[in-house]
Amino acid sequence: MARQRRPVGGARVAVLFVVVALLAAALPGLVAQDLAGDRLALLALRDALDRGRLLPWNTADPTPCKWRGVLCSNQTGQGVPQRVVELRLPGKRLIGTIPLGTVGNLTALQALSLRHNGITGGIPADIGNCDQLTVVNLTRNQFAGAVPEGFFSLAVLRNVDLSRNRLAGGVSQEFNRLKQLDTLFLDNNDFAGALPPGFYLPSLSRFNVSFNAQLTGPVPASLAGMPASAFQGTALCGGPLLACPNSPGGEKKKRLSRWAIVGIIAGAALVLLLIVGLVACLRRRQVASAASAGRPTETAAAANVRETTTPITVTLARTDRDAVKQSHAPPLAPVMISEGKKLVFLGSAPDRPYDLETLLRASAEVLGKGQHGTTYRATLDGGEPVLAVKRLREVHLSENEFRHRATALGALHHGNLTRLRAYFYSKEEKLLVYDFVGAGSLSALLHDGSLEGRARLDFTARARIALAAARGVAFIHQGGAKSSHGNLKSSNIVVTATRDGAYVSDYGIAQVTGAAAPPPRRGAGYHAPEVTDARSVPQSADVYSFGVVVLELLSGRAPQHALPEGADGVDLPRWVRSVVQEEWTSEVFDAAIANEPRVEGEMMRLLQLGIECTEQRPDRRPTMAEVEARIERIVEDTCRKDDFSSTDGSRSVSA
């Protein structure tokens, strides 16, 4: 009997092996665990999406690590196999549907970018196998259907951009499982229904569901702090939008009777009368005090000084919303005005005279908070003029030395520099007053908005902004004080309202303060590697900083340490060089400009200039005069092509 059972058992084992083999061949979703499996998955993906064989992959190479758009982990060591960790194929004219067993088999993948293609069908259901993914960018394709269940198992995801597709269904509460998510863009899709009331992602800082017309209902409380633009083009309500019709606030408004309205008006009138009476009483006391002291009363704001017998305290108003949104600065403490101190104007007096107290009582908004102080936008009564006031944090100069250096800065007059109009110096406070120009910083334009917002900043506009900034810095180097800026970065470049020009701000601030600053972080951010003291920055270091700004303009990526603490950044010069050396230069460019027609050559020329400006050795960098001349030629060539393609020929070369 035993001899008869053995063949049967052997047959069962053989059948089992056959079944396993058939399953392995029939189910493409079986997970690959080595580089050879990654290679097969990539080839299957190419066969499905790259029918024109546009991807220059050398399939004869046994390893995919040298293929363009593919990045592998470090070489094999300590028993850890080499794997594909990044797949970036933006704008490669990929068409078709992603099959199972391709992306889902790249189980060590950390970054996936297939933006700006024509991929259809659903997001592959087996994407959940890629449990190390931190970045997924599928924007500007034609993905359809719902977000698959496996997507919500990607626990370490930080940045997700699924915008500008055809995704449908509801915005699932399963997104709550992605606790590390910092960015979630779902805009310009076909999502419908209500946002989950329990929607909560503790690390989320950027969110957008705009232009999903069928999204309805209230904005969840956890998203109420997002800008209204994040919900534009939907039927959502509440939060930063108008109150929902059935909200308690809305019901109360509807219940207000005629007598309640009359009572509110009467109460407001009574409060106004009390304020007027109090002001009149205080004014009479001031006049009486001045008469008893034998001094004339103050009759006009044209005087540059408001003398006082003792120091007074004036609080500069601010808008809390803008302070939180733009700079996260604390409330401005009261400004102390010592006796006999005044606002000193540099050059001609303003068209509309104002004194120190008028300035300090102006309504103001926090624009930014930096190493040397906080900057406010101050609007005087009547709406004019609008000024930028920089309150210096720490100044280690005597009043004479401060006046000398401020006067030198005030003498710099150029169309691409912010104009220093006045200063105030006392023991307690030091202020610099500039003309307010532009519509916002270049940093905010590039990094505070969505891809759609950056798309309105085309390459021509970016080149014009670079030219305007180059002209301002070159003037500081040669035509002005023959000094250096010292702190050049995108947050100190103010873009015009038309987004085709710019002003350079905050030049010479380190010299005006004279305060010791912590040494800049070397080899990262905007600082040249040779700079050790922010008070003594050579012109060649300005060129390096400008080169970083150029790379930032082209890539849309922020340098290290450039954004608020906790935000991502990259060593731009090093990153750009590594990408270019791998002959994958197109990956450098911001997706918003990557596929612009006719200007590929100009984009490459500006990129090359940015690389030259960020050379490690200062003697290998061009001068700002050379930089200005080269960018001017790039802008001229770009605009000439735009003129050729435009219907009205109205474009201008001026920046």
Tell me the C-alpha distance between 302 and 444, whole Å.
36
Q: Is the entire prediction scored with pTM above 0.75?
A: no
More confident site: 604 or 587: 604
Question: Is the pLDDT assigned to residue 54 strictly greater than 90?
Answer: no
User: Would you say residue 338 lies in a domain?
Assistant: no
Give the tens place of pLDDT for each residue, 399-412. 888 888 888 888 88
Question: Is the pLDDT assigned to residue 160 strictly greater than 60?
Answer: yes
| Number of separate domains in the chain | 3
Let me know whether 501 and 375 are in one domain.
no
Q: What is the pLDDT of residue 5?
A: 43
Q: What is the pLDDT of residue 453?
A: 55
Question: Would you call 559 helix, strand, or coil by DSSP?
Answer: strand
Per cent of the chain over pLDDT 90 is 34
What do you get for the CA distance between the two ends of the chain, in Å? Answer: 97
Question: Is the pLDDT assigned to residue 503 strictly greater than 80?
Answer: yes
Question: Is the pLDDT assigned to residue 303 strictly greater than 70?
Answer: no
Question: Would you call 551 helix, strand, or coil by DSSP?
Answer: helix
Let me know whether 176 and 93 are in one domain.
yes
Q: What is the pLDDT of residue 617?
A: 93
Could you tell me which residues come within 8 angstroms of residue 323 by beta carbon, excluding any fewer than 6 positions away?
Answer: 329, 331, 365, 366
Question: What CATH number corresponds to the domain at position 417?
Answer: 3.30.200.20
User: Would you say residue 303 lies in a domain?
Assistant: no
Question: Is the pLDDT assigned to residue 170 strictly greater than 60?
Answer: yes
Give the tens place of pLDDT for each residue, 448-483. 765 555 556 889 999 999 999 999 999 989 865 568
Report whether 339 contacts 311 (CB < 8 A).
yes
Task: Report the DSSP beta bridge partners of residue 559.
Answer: 570
Burial call 51-72: b when 16+ CB within 10 Å, e when fewer: eeeebebeeeeeebbebbbbbb
Give the tens place of pLDDT for each residue, 307-318. 222 333 333 433
Lowest mean pLDDT among 25-39, 69-83, 181-195, 198-212: 25-39
User: Would you say residue 259 lies in a domain?
Assistant: no
Q: What is the pLDDT of residue 38?
A: 93
Q: Which of 237, 255, 289 is the last residue of a domain?
A: 237
User: Would you say residue 447 lies in a domain?
Assistant: yes
Question: Is the pLDDT assigned to residue 417 strictly greater than 50?
Answer: yes
User: Would you say residue 422 lies in a domain?
Assistant: yes
Burial call 160-178: b when 16+ CB within 10 Å, e when fewer: bbbbbbebeeebbeebbeb
More confident site: 251 or 262: 262
Q: Give the containing element (helix H, strand E) for 216.
A: strand 214-218
Question: Is the pLDDT assigned to residue 127 strictly greater than 90?
Answer: yes
Q: Which of 435, 452, 468 is the last residue of a domain?
A: 435
Let me know whether 549 and 465 are in one domain.
yes
Let me know whether 423 and 446 are in one domain.
no
Q: What is the DSSP code (8-state) at residue 177?
A: G
Question: What CATH number corresponds to the domain at position 58?
Answer: 3.80.10.10
Annotated ligand binding at 390? The verdict is yes
Let me know whether 447 and 431 are in one domain.
no
Give the tens place of pLDDT for each residue, 108-126. 999 999 987 889 999 999 9
Confidence band for 387, pLDDT divided at 50, 70 and 90: confident
Let me know whether 94 and 187 are in one domain.
yes
Question: Is the pLDDT assigned to residue 547 strictly greater than 50?
Answer: yes
Let me know whether 361 and 427 are in one domain.
yes
Enclosing domain of residue 50: 35-237
Section 79-91 average pLDDT: 83
Report whether 174 contacts 201 (CB < 8 A).
no
Strands 502-504 and 493-495: antiparallel
User: Would you say residue 171 lies in a domain?
Assistant: yes
Picking from 224, 163, 152, 154, the residue whose alpha carbon sits closest to that of residue 195 is 224
Let me know whether 353 and 448 are in one domain.
no
Section 377-393 average pLDDT: 81
Per cent of the chain over pLDDT 70 is 74
Lowest mean pLDDT among 98-107, 221-230, 609-618: 221-230
Q: Is the dihedral angle over the CA atoms 119, 121, 126, 131 positive or is it negative?
A: positive
Confidence band for 383, pLDDT divided at 50, 70 and 90: low
Question: Is the pLDDT assigned to residue 175 strictly greater than 90?
Answer: yes
Residue 314 token pair: 């004036």
Question: What CATH number corresponds to the domain at position 546?
Answer: 1.10.510.10
Q: What is the pLDDT of residue 342?
A: 81
User: Would you say residue 302 lies in a domain?
Assistant: no
Question: Is the pLDDT assigned to residue 321 strictly greater than 60?
Answer: no
Q: What is the pLDDT of residue 279?
A: 64
Let me know whether 468 and 424 are in one domain.
no
Section 21-43 average pLDDT: 66
Let me know whether 123 and 70 are in one domain.
yes
Residue 92 token pair: 């490669």
Give the tens place of pLDDT for each residue, 563-587. 665 456 788 999 999 888 877 788 8
Question: Is the pLDDT assigned to residue 266 strictly greater than 90?
Answer: no
User: Would you say residue 271 lies in a domain?
Assistant: no
Q: What is the pLDDT of residue 549?
A: 96
Let me know whether 482 and 576 are in one domain.
yes
Let me know whether 623 and 562 are in one domain.
yes
Q: Which of 217, 237, 257 is the last residue of a domain?
A: 237
Exposure on the CB side of residue 278, measured as CA atoms within 13 A: 6
Q: Where are the beta strands (DSSP E) in 327-476?
A: 335-337, 344-345, 363-370, 373-379, 386-392, 420-425, 430-435, 440-441
Question: Is the pLDDT assigned to residue 435 strictly greater than 60?
Answer: yes
Supply the angle between the helices 539-555 and 600-613 in degrees, to the nearest 10.
140
